[in-house]
Amino acid sequence: MNWDWIAGFYEGEGYIGENVHVSDSGQSRLVHLSISQTEKHVLECIRKFVGFGKVYPVTQKNKKHRKSWVYQLYGAKAIKFAKKILPKMKSKRKTKQLRSVIA
């Protein structure tokens, strides 16, 4: 396992976004990054290599779908992960998404 492999895996299975909360005292945002997969052990290997984040089961709405899992990161840890994989990414679309959220 290495960052090149993780970057490629993220390009196929990953997502990054942010939640923005507006209140009287101002605005805050929380970056979240996730990678979904039906093979839990793959996500556990990523989590172990990275050293942070959590793997959770995904609730399936359709009983015909296979059980799946999600590796999730929030806040500073999501940004740290994104900065590690960004130089190794090949997909222009995914690279643009990462840059727009971690800027």
Gap between the Cα atoms of 10 and 35, Å rounded: 6
Model pLDDT, residue 41? 97
Walk me through the domains of the chain, giving residue ranges and CATH numbers. 3-102 (3.10.28.10)
Tell me the whole-structure pTM to 2 decimals. 0.85
Structural tokens at position 76:
């500073």
Task: Identify the CA nearest to 54 among candidates 37, 73, 76, 26.
Answer: 73
Beta strands 54-58; 68-74: pairing state:
antiparallel
pLDDT digits (tens, 9 = 90+) for 10-41: 999 999 988 887 878 888 888 999 999 999 99
pLDDT digits (tens, 9 = 90+) for 36-81: 999 999 999 999 999 999 999 998 888 888 899 999 999 999 999 9
